[in-house]
Amino acid sequence: MIESFISFWPELWKALQETLIMLAVGLSASTVFGGAIGVFLYLWSEERLLKSPKLRFIVGGLVNVVRSFPFVILMIAAGPLARLIAGTTIGPVAASVPLSIAGIAYFSRLVELSLMDVSKGTVEAAQSMGASLRKIVFSVLLVEARPSLILGFTSLCISYLSYSAAAGVIGGGGLGDLAVRYGYYRFQTEIMVATVVGLILFVQLIQSTGNYFSRKMDKR
């Protein structure tokens, strides 16, 4: 048992690295682009600062389309784009492309939802002070929504972990791929179990960390 783990370690290490690459690329893209789209979806909505039903309909619709794709199909459909951006369709960097697309759509809705919870009164107070839109977004909306944004980000991380496992299908590699290859194809159950347990612990760790920081930031 222990011996098999020692011989197995390099492969586990490689899989872990691949998972981390997918997480790093995908999470960065989702946070930046998904965050921005979420802010705009909020600002474009009825009675908000940049009210624009048309843009909201178009961009919101696009987000819904991406979100309604089963992830595996999204991955295959994103193949050509992955080749364009990453130069290849296999490996963790290529798998990050569909991951990012799914994550951007998912996170944008989470951000929009968090911002909708910010009290209208505080936004109005900032408007009455003559704040610019930029100031309202960065000093009021994002600050007031911070605890719930952190929870949204936590939830994004966890979804990512499971998406990245599915990304093994197109050769993305990573921990999920490892579990499938060993457990499913080679019947090395203990390795599959170890990987799954590792993933469970990873998810728990992410959730507890997220909860901790969210609570710490919440001064309400």
Partner 1 sequence: MVRIESISKKFLEHGQVIQALQDVSFHVQRGQIYGLIGHSGAGKSTALRAINLLERPDSGQVLFNGENILTKSPEELRHLRQKIGMIFQHFNLLANRTVSENIALPLEIAGWKKEDIYKRVIECLELVHLTDKAQAYPAKLSGGQKQRVAIARSIANHPQVLLADEPTSALDPLTKGEILNCLAELNQKLGLTIVIASHEMKVIRKLCHRVTLFRGGRTEETLDVVNGQIHPQSAYGKIFVEDL
Residues that bind partner 1 (CB under 8 A): 119, 121-122, 124-132, 135, 139-140, 143-144, 146-147, 217-220
Ordered DSSP codes for 24-66? HHHHHHIIIIIHHHHHHHHHHSTTSTT--HHHHHHHHHHHHHH
How near is the Cβ of 129 to partner 1 at its closest, in Å?
Answer: 4
The smaller minimum CB distance to partner 1, of residues 1 and 219, is found at 219
The smaller minimum CB distance to partner 1, of residues 124 and 190, is found at 124
How near is the Cβ of 151 to partner 1 at its closest, in Å?
Answer: 14
The smaller minimum CB distance to partner 1, of residues 35 and 147, is found at 147
The smaller minimum CB distance to partner 1, of residues 36 and 131, is found at 131
Closest-CA residue to 172 (of 65, 105, 74, 106): 74
How near is the Cβ of 46 to partner 1 at its closest, in Å?
Answer: 12
How near is the Cβ of 143 to partner 1 at its closest, in Å?
Answer: 5
The smaller minimum CB distance to partner 1, of residues 24 and 50, is found at 50
Determine whether 200 is exposed, middle or buried from the number of CB atoms within 10 Å of its CB (0-12, 13-18, 19+).
exposed
The smaller minimum CB distance to partner 1, of residues 65 and 125, is found at 125
CA 108 to CA 96: how far, in whole Å? Answer: 17
How near is the Cβ of 117 to partner 1 at its closest, in Å?
Answer: 11
How near is the Cβ of 55 to partner 1 at its closest, in Å?
Answer: 19
Neighbours of 69 (CB within 10 A): 17
Give, as one character, the DSSP assignment of residue 181: I
The encoded tokens of residue 211 equal: 């909860």
Ordered DSSP codes for 186-201? S--HHHHHHHHHHHHH
Do the Cβ atoms of 76 and 147 come closer than 8 Å? no
The encoded tokens of residue 195 equal: 């990987």
Q: Can you say whether the dihedral through the CA atoms of 159, 162, 164, 166 is positive or negative?
A: negative
